[in-house]
Structure 1
Amino acid sequence: MEITVVHGDITRQQVDAVVNAANRGMRGGGGVDGAIHAAGGPAVLADCVARFPHGLATGDAGWTTAGDLPARWVIHVVGPDHRSGQTDRSLLTSCYARALAVADELGAGSVAFPLVSAGIYGWPKHDAVAAAIETLAAAETAVAEARMVAFDRGTYQLIAQSLSTT
């Protein structure tokens, strides 16, 4: 699998699936979650309610329609909230591994990932990048491209630098 990085908006990526950094309730929120729900429209939320009436556990993943997004699917992952004491790194790496497993179930060849838990959940950015790249690089998957999407220039540079040394 090729791991790439782009500086841009995850809601505009032309991929089979976009990964949403969701909260456990699966009803929309801020950051990436809010952007995906806003761009995807009401169909994303309706599918979340139907498929995940009780939400998802931290570290797990599940899919919904992508609604109005250019992707076919949204793969929702629930990252650990570092600020509230969820510091088990295996929960973070599980988000990437489970997202790829769901992508394989769907037959997705390209998947766009945000940097899970590194925003409002406060996971230290350098370790969030390392966890993502380590997990993606070690994965056995049929996904051809895992695209890391960085909304800001600093995160893009950090991911690009990390990819160049792996």
Structure 2
Amino acid sequence: MKFNKEELDIIRLECTHYENDRAASIEALKIIQKRQGWVSDDAIKLVSQVLHISESDVEGIATFYNQIFRQPVGKYIVRYCDSNVCYINGCEQIQQTLESSLGIKIGNTTQDNKFTLLPTCCMGLCDKSPVLMIDKKIYSCIVPSDIMQILRSY
């Protein structure tokens, strides 16, 4: 993997907005993820070289943030909230229905690479729980019977 000139220019511009290159690494990772859909080991190495920080620092940053994917993901990221409030309001049934509807377990991607299923600690919508998010669209107060119709819309 190599950065093209445009990507390098964007990463270098981002560096000017931060006190140090380590702080800019998250933006560099997001640029790569937008391009290839996830952040590979080669991408970690390239960010390290471009920003002059250690690979282990870049890896630590990449694995800390749950919006940075370290393995290929589906076209749509399906997140369900598993916080305490959503748990009380039935997120276990939502999880089970998602797993059976998609034919995958948490953390996996469907065979057609369409959906990846991930839990999320909190979406900040406790008053509307249980909550499901597909990419940036939020579905609130969902019940298991809503899930097939939601998935079909994708």
Q: If the length of structure 2 is used for normalisation, what is the TM-score?
A: 0.29
Structure 1 or 2: larger helix share?
Answer: 2
Q: Which has the larger radius of gyration?
A: 2
Greater relative CO, 1 or 2 (CA 8 Å, sep 6+) = 1
Higher strand share: 1
